[in-house]
Amino acid sequence: MQIIRSVAELSSYLDQHKGTVGFVPTMGALHDGHLQLVKQAKSLTDTVIVSVFVNPTQFNNPADLEKYPRDEDGDSRKLEGAGCDVVWFPEVIDLYPGGVSSDVYDLAHLERVMEGEFRPGHFQGVATIVDRLFKFVRPDVAVFGEKDYQQVAVIRRMSHLSKHTVDIVVSPTRREESGLAMSSRNLLLSDSFKKASSIIHIAMLEIRASGRERLVDECVSEVKSRIAQAGLVPEYVVIADEDSLEPLENWGDSKAPRIFIAAYAGDVRLIDNLSLN
């Protein structure tokens, strides 16, 4: 596995290696969820490139950026084991030559619901960085996690707006045995919050099993109170159509409902989602 830092090194690697390129953008502190994406990319393409870059423009909260876990050596070792061909640790100056700020994309309602509503500017930052990474890597396939479901919708939209031809593939959410979705942020959880956070998955499964017997609003209130009883602070609980991401009023409004949750476990913000079919 080759470790690359500058875009000059990256482009000379790409010039020398023919065949299809799979790409997995990450922010590091890698876990098995990330490695699953790498393996999936490897099964689809000849060469897999993984970027590890904690992107400043997608953090709407400076303290969150500051405490985001970083582990370059551990990440390199894990990626080598997963069959990655190139890990790219980009330099800020290469990705933000004109200064650290986002470009402006027309993300329409994606910026107004759920993560868009509660993390102003976050998706502009995501769209900006992934657009720039795509321009440098020029991948045939890029793999993203279902865990960040709304992010995938943003990336599809950005990709269309910027006329990228990359095939976007979505990989299922990898979970701990407790059901908690794997996340780099889980490293910041105390043991007791880690245990308590399994309520997010439990509550989503309950709604999938028997939610249709109640009104959508009742389900949302119930999940919020289950999360609060476990000692977490829910930020939003939304049941939306998984294609339009428009929140539902009634079950009959969607053939493919999905539940989306953001909650704080102490000062760690967790998100998750689950198809309700």
Residues serving a catalytic function are 34
Tell me which of 34, 119, 164, 224 binds ligand AMP, using CB under 6 A.
Answer: 34
Does position 197 interact with ligand AMP (CB under 6 A)? The reply is: no
Q: Which is nearer to ligand AMP, 26 or 197 (CB)?
A: 26
CA pair distance 81, 58, nearest whole angstrom: 29
Q: Given the rule CB under 6 A, which of 13-21, 28-36, 102-110, 263-271 is the region that contacts ligand AMP?
A: 28-36
Tell me which of 111, 148, 235, 242 binds ligand AMP, using CB under 6 A.
Answer: 148
Tell me which of 7, 10, 22, 26 binds ligand AMP, using CB under 6 A.
Answer: 26
Does position 183 interact with ligand AMP (CB under 6 A)? The reply is: yes
CB of 216 to ligand AMP, least distance (A): 26
Does position 173 interact with ligand AMP (CB under 6 A)? The reply is: yes
Q: Given the rule CB under 6 A, which of 26-34, 112-120, 158-166, 207-215 is the region that contacts ligand AMP?
A: 26-34
Q: Given the rule CB under 6 A, which of 34-42, 190-198, 199-207, 246-254 is the region that contacts ligand AMP?
A: 34-42
Q: Which is nearer to ligand AMP, 33 or 125 (CB)?
A: 33
Tell me which of 45, 102, 159, 184 binds ligand AMP, using CB under 6 A.
Answer: 184
Interaction site with ligand AMP (CB under 6 A) = 26-27, 33-34, 36-37, 144-145, 147-148, 171, 173-174, 181-184
